[in-house]
Chains A and B, each alone.
Chain A
Amino acid sequence: MQPQFFSPSLVPTVGTSASTLSRRLARWGAAALLAGAAAGAMVPAMAQTTTLKIIPSSNITVLDPIWTTAYVTRNFGYMVYDTLFATDLEGHIKPQMVDKWKVSPDNKTWTFTLRDGLEFHDGKPVTSEDVVASIKRWASRDTFGAQLAKVTERYETPDARTFSIVLKEPFGLVLEALGKPSSNVPFIMPKRIAETSGDTQIKESIGSGPYVFKADEFRPGERVVFTKNTRYKPRAEAPSGTAGGKNVYVDRVEWLIIRDAQTQMNALLNGEADILEQPAFEQYATLRTNPDIKLIDAQPAGNQFILRFNFLQPPFNNEKVRRAALLALGQEAFLRTQVGTPGLTRYCKSMFPCGTLFESEQTGDYTGVANPQKAKALLEEAGYKGEPVVLMRPTDNPTIGKLPLVAKQQLEQAGFKVDMQSMDWSTLVARRAKKDAPSAGGWSAFMTSWTASDILNPITMAMMNATGDKGWFGWQTDAKLEEIKVQFAQAKTEADKKKLAQAAQLRAFETATHVPVGQYNQPAAVRKNVSGLVPAGAQVYWNIKKQ
């Protein structure tokens, strides 16, 4: 409902004559005096249409969920596309588009059968060829997908509903790869679209998911519109995470792009939006006390703040110096400064987020509590010569902008010389790709935030990519860590995977790949007449009812 000062009876429609218009203009003066009455007037609504209005966490600028890892694009993907497998709330992989599957005795051939009646939004059936083309495109861009592609010998499509992945050697994470909940998600697209090179953006958003993207109503930077996919056949299981039945109970979903945090909250409180995906940290106190609003933690695994080192340049090219920094940083100050709101933060010293499958207490000498004395001693032992630590701070990023202030203080207390440089986020992400010396436009450390779904295991955790130049920003080279990851990928049992994930974490702490500096949650703010928001590893919008 929108307040309507200019009620329809007073408002001219296109084609109104000038005399009528002037008479009505005169009446507006009177209407102003009767503002209270006029306020209640409504624009005629679309008959029997339930529209869910959502304010997403950020503006969506790319519609191809394979071409970018942006979370908002990933969430867009979950609206439009479906997945072969999915991750339930406990972190287990469940079939989604797949009906059944089998593995050959030598663990090299995985054969999958699709559910009956799957259909794209253009009316064409989903076939095994669409699936294979989609997997290939996804694997060309996604780290996990690339791991799978590396061990894949060929794909087979014996019939329209059956496809096989034939491996060169056993790979224990086939289902985890196909069911990964976060960027890049292996969404299934029609073959003609999926054949677009992974380096080129697709031009159409046609999936087989629970909602149809209305390209004709898409207004970049303003509004994204979806309608219910009436031909979608949800699974029978109850929704859990990104798995289970994707039932849709609304006719239409509109994403309203609002950038200003205060305006976002105003829109929600005024009933102009139903869900505010990610309120600003400081808004929770107000939202908690509002009788029309409830807070729902739709991503219970939350997010993790981290600090990443540059392994190529002094001072952090020295392992002992990195470990000194590890000891210098304490989570409590980071969480209090950046989030500040009680109940939204969580101390967690594990690199794999607390509350997820591979969470582990095995963290070597890292405690998550600042120990400046111990850090100072190790720094001296390391032979630190006072090289300035160029720490990048993104001043325009409200989620992580305050973290470097804390890092600077804690590192200086341990004896580091810190040169904190402020910049916008776009500059930071460009600069972190530079390998030059910090004095020549490079960097020593930066901080960022990960959604838990992106760092669930050693393969998907970017900070554990220790392949040097080909690895993630910071460019660590560590054969031992890479070897553990290979073993992890080949592990057949859950117990083995857990043991190897723990070994990877221990090795990561030993070599100080990065520092986890605390977990936090950002529950969605939802109006009381809306129910059914599904907690998952990504923001998903099926199963929602609006009264």
Chain B
Amino acid sequence: MLTFLGKRLLATIPVLLVVAVAIFMIVRLTPGDPAAVIGGNSATNEDLDRIRVQLGLTRPLWEQFAIWGKGVLHGDLGFSFFLNKPVIELIGQRMEPTLSLAAGTLLLAVAIALPLGTLAAWRMGGWLDKAVMAFSVAGFSVPVFVVGYVLIYVLAMKLQWFPVQGYRRIGEGVGPWLNQLVLPCLTLAITYVALLSRVTRAAVSEALTEDFIRTARAKGITELEVLKHHALRNAAVPVVTVIGVSAALLLGGVVVTETVFAIPGLGQLTVDAVLNRDFPVLQGVVLFFAVVYVAVNLLVDVSYLFIDPRIRY
């Protein structure tokens, strides 16, 4: 186990290095110039040249990369060109909203999708199965912003149950924090429930055709026990994989939902950095996403050992 973890952690080094070089080159090869954005409408070429010098953009690319890379190795992701603040601090400020949104969405999605998918598999071909599948197709097909606007209109503007936008930090009180999270989490959960219930249904239905299920039923074990201890456990690997991928996606920021609900998450930070060509922020955020993906993948792989004793690394 420890050897496996050590190998996996060592394997992340080249991955992160490739990501770092790639993102550094991509952002600089993209058309656009942070100096031109900073300069504004009245700037002249002379002004832009001055800003470029000040931002260090006139140095050779390799030198810019060396400076940034050295900083990263020391835990310093640089300063935002615009906000004059450390990138680490900016990412830190966005962590809570992103984590809250991701955790809330996943909790809702797992709590709804697992029983729904399992029941659909158990009653394969029945009305419940058809209803779950219909919901799954619809939930996956309707764009997130449409769901968001509908929920805002009904639950926030008509019924006045929730605010239409914004994020309140947990430090301001659990009530306000929850109140702000319900709508965006619901909006996102619909997509993830659709995805997870479908995967669960497929995995459980496959497990239910196995010989050991027939044996279990022949031994007189209740149907609930069969589902819980035999079918679900054997179906867990693909389900956990999808949950892991979903978690990584959610932690990478969900731009549309964040925009519709004005949630200051990592997705919004990324979009702002792209639009402004704020290179240090963009590089820092992408590197952070890479670390998140690697960490989530590792967690998922480790979780297989506990789910399925047949798996050995």
Q: Is B71 an interface residue (CB 8 A)?
A: no
A164 to B176, CA, bound (A): 55
Q: Is B65 an interface residue (CB 8 A)?
A: no
Chain B residues within 8 Å of A19, by CB: none
1/0 contact string of A196-213 vs chain B (CB within 8 Å): 000111010000000000
Chain B residues within 8 Å of A68, by CB: 38-40
A10 to B261, CA, bound (A): 24
Distance of B160 from chain A, by nearest CB (Å): 5
Candidates A12, A426, A462; contact of B36 at CB < 8 Å: A426
Cβ contact within 8 Å between A219 and B178: no
Cβ contact within 8 Å between B176 and A431: no
Chain A residues within 8 Å of B167, by CB: 222
Candidates A10, A38, A62, A259; contact of B259 at CB < 8 Å: A259
By beta carbon, the residue of chain A nearest B175 is A11
Most chain B CB neighbours (cut-off 10 Å) among A10, A14, A203, A266: A266
Q: Is A270 an interface residue (CB 8 A)?
A: yes
Q: Is B156 an interface residue (CB 8 A)?
A: yes
By beta carbon, the residue of chain B nearest A69 is B40
Chain B residues within 8 Å of A63, by CB: 83-84
Distance of B230 from chain A, by nearest CB (Å): 30
Interface locus among B218-226, B264-272, B300-308: B264-272
Q: Is A501 an interface residue (CB 8 A)?
A: no
Candidates B32, B85, B179; contact of A220 at CB < 8 Å: B85
Q: Is A249 an interface residue (CB 8 A)?
A: no
Cβ contact within 8 Å between B37 and A426: yes
Chain A residues within 8 Å of B261, by CB: 263
Cβ contact within 8 Å between A183 and B42: yes
Distance of A310 from chain B, by nearest CB (Å): 13
Candidates A6, A13, A70, A263; contact of B260 at CB < 8 Å: A263
Cβ contact within 8 Å between B164 and A272: yes
Most chain B CB neighbours (cut-off 10 Å) among A38, A39, A454: A39
A63 to B54, CA, bound (A): 17
Chain B residues within 8 Å of A364, by CB: none
Q: Is A471 an interface residue (CB 8 A)?
A: yes
Chain A residues within 8 Å of B48, by CB: 433
Chain A residues within 8 Å of B272, by CB: 59, 61, 221
A35 to B156, CA, bound (A): 12
Q: Is A387 an interface residue (CB 8 A)?
A: no
A183 to B276, CA, bound (A): 19
Q: Is A258 an interface residue (CB 8 A)?
A: yes
- Size band of the A side of the interface? 35 or more
Q: Is A153 an interface residue (CB 8 A)?
A: no
Candidates B32, B93, B152, B165; contact of A219 at CB < 8 Å: B93
Q: Is A192 an interface residue (CB 8 A)?
A: no
Cβ contact within 8 Å between A424 and B84: no
Q: Is B4 an interface residue (CB 8 A)?
A: no
Q: A222-B167, A426-B32 are in contact. Are A3 and B42 (CB under 8 A)?
A: no
Which residues, 444 to 494 on A, are CB-close (under 8 Å) to B? 448, 450, 454, 462, 465, 469-473
1/0 contact string of B151-180 vs chain A (CB within 8 Å): 010001101111111110000011110110
Cβ contact within 8 Å between B39 and A262: no
Distance of A422 from chain B, by nearest CB (Å): 12
Most chain A CB neighbours (cut-off 10 Å) among B37, B83, B164: B164
Cβ contact within 8 Å between A270 and B83: no
By beta carbon, the residue of chain B nearest A143 is B42
Cβ contact within 8 Å between A62 and B179: no
Cβ contact within 8 Å between B165 and A5: no
Cβ contact within 8 Å between A426 and B161: no
Cβ contact within 8 Å between B262 and A258: yes
Q: Is A533 an interface residue (CB 8 A)?
A: no
Q: Is A256 an interface residue (CB 8 A)?
A: yes
Q: Is A8 an interface residue (CB 8 A)?
A: yes
1/0 contact string of A44-76 vs chain B (CB within 8 Å): 000000000000000101110001111000000
Chain B residues within 8 Å of A465, by CB: 44
Cβ contact within 8 Å between A259 and B159: no
Cβ contact within 8 Å between A69 and B37: no
1/0 contact string of B52-84 vs chain A (CB within 8 Å): 011000000000000000000000000000111
Distance of B79 from chain A, by nearest CB (Å): 10
Cβ contact within 8 Å between B173 and A423: no
1/0 contact string of A345-372 vs chain B (CB within 8 Å): 0000000000000000000000000000
Cβ contact within 8 Å between B160 and A39: yes
Distance of A534 from chain B, by nearest CB (Å): 24
Q: Is B135 an interface residue (CB 8 A)?
A: no
Q: A38-B161, A260-B262 are in contact. Are A430 and B32 (CB under 8 A)?
A: yes
Which residues, 235 to 276 on A, are CB-close (under 8 Å) to B? 256-260, 262-263, 266-267, 269-270, 272
Name 16 A/B residue pairs within 8 A (Cβ), A-sorted: A2-B163, A3-B156, A5-B182, A6-B174, A11-B178, A12-B174, A39-B161, A40-B160, A260-B259, A260-B260, A269-B157, A270-B160, A426-B32, A426-B36, A429-B33, A430-B31
* 10 closest residue pairs by CB, A with B: A69-B40, A11-B175, A430-B33, A222-B264, A61-B82, A429-B36, A426-B32, A258-B262, A266-B164, A427-B31
Given contacts A432-B36, A472-B44, 15 further A-B contacts (CB under 8 A): A4-B176, A35-B159, A39-B159, A43-B176, A68-B39, A70-B40, A141-B47, A200-B54, A201-B84, A258-B262, A263-B259, A263-B261, A267-B164, A427-B31, A448-B41
